[in-house]
Structure 1
Amino acid sequence: MDLSATGEPVVVQEDTHVHVGLDLRPGTLTLTQDGKDFAAYHALVKFASAHGAPWAAEEVKLSAKGPDGAPVALTVDLLNDTWDGPRAGVPGPIWKVVALAATSAGDVGITYASPNRP
């Protein structure tokens, strides 16, 4: 490939979004919805920082296999309805996935602390 590049790329802090994908070890995260178990194998965590505000985790999209082995996608909203804090009732293991993603995202300047959950 013949490629050249110039410049010094800079991430703009206004309304910046970062998506961090994680492959999960099979069998380490089981999600239960409507009495059905789903084995998660991949997570995509969306972080955002609007207008220089601290980074926040907005959502986690999880790829999983259902009881029948068919792939499904589940989305967990992490912010409450007023977007000023964590959503109540998000299970602890989901926050652990977010913390793992935040550790991976540290390379792009994200600093993140898990919220104090109600």
Structure 2
Amino acid sequence: MNTSEPKTSHVNDHQREDHPMELSATGNPAVVREDTQIEVGIDLQRGTLALTHGGKAYEAYHARVKFAGVQQDPWQAEQVTFSVKGTNGKTSALVVEFFGEKWDDPAPKIPAAIWKVVALAASAAGDLGITYTAPAGA
């Protein structure tokens, strides 16, 4: 059992400050689906996704997919950020954008393997019907 006191964090000028929990909250929050965004991160099994960018080969080990839902339109994948390791052993990120300058611009030619990652992320989030149970006493 965790007996430490809850803390809040504040980041100011790129410095993080932790403080004892001195936060209160009231109200009954509700979601307005004007432009709701959800990011889903998934770990990828080593060796299952190879990416090539600028003539360099990378192995993807994590993907963070950003989904957006505008009003009552279906959820759309906006972008995926891959955490990758190059053949030189260095890690970096590759970002794939799914839309042009406007929301309704068609997606460029995206490789099928990347769309499979998007589908895995959506499935991992319960097809974006994320379920959550608050901890006891919350």
Report the 3-state secondary structure (helix = DSSP H, G, I; strand = E; otherwise coil) of the residue aligned with 2:95. Answer: strand
Residue 89 of structure 2 aligns with which residue?
A: 69
Q: What is residue 43 of structure 1 aligned with on the other side?
A: 63
* Aligned-CA RMSD value: 2.5
Greater helix share, structure number: 1
- SS of the residue corresponding to residue 21 of structure 1 reads strand
Q: Which amino acid aligns with 1:61?
A: T
Helix, strand or coil: the match of 1:54?
A: coil
Q: 1:16 maps to which residue?
A: 36
Residue type of the alignment partner of 2:35: D
Q: 1:97 aligns with which of 117, 125, 128?
A: 117
Aligned residues: 110
Q: Rate the CA distance shift 1:107–1:88 in 2: closer, same or farther, 3 A.
A: closer
What is the identity percentage for the equivalent residue pairs of Structure 1 and Structure 2? 54
SS in 2 for 1:106: coil
In the alignment, is residue 52 of structure 1 matched against residue 72 of structure 2? yes
Q: Is the contact between residue 65 and residue 71 of structure 1 (CA under 8 Å) also seen in structure 2?
A: yes
Counterpart of 2:126 in structure 1 is 106
Unaligned runs of 5+ in 2: 7-24, 131-138
Point out where structure 1 has 5 or more consecutive residues left out of the alignment. Answer: 111-118
Q: For 1:31-90, what per-residue CA distance to the aligned partner results, in whole angstroms no more than 9, with x for missing partners?
A: 001211000000000000122322100000000001111001000001244322542221
Contact 1:57–1:78 under 8 Å retained in 2: yes
Aligned residue for 2:47? 27
d(CA) in 2 for partners of 1:64, 1:104: 20
SS of 2:116 mapped into structure 1: helix
Q: Alpha carbons of 1:96 and 1:49: their partners in 2 closer, same or farther (altered >3 Å)?
A: same
Task: State the shift of 1:7 in Å.
Answer: 7.2
Q: Which has the higher contact order (CA 8 A, sep 6+)?
A: 1
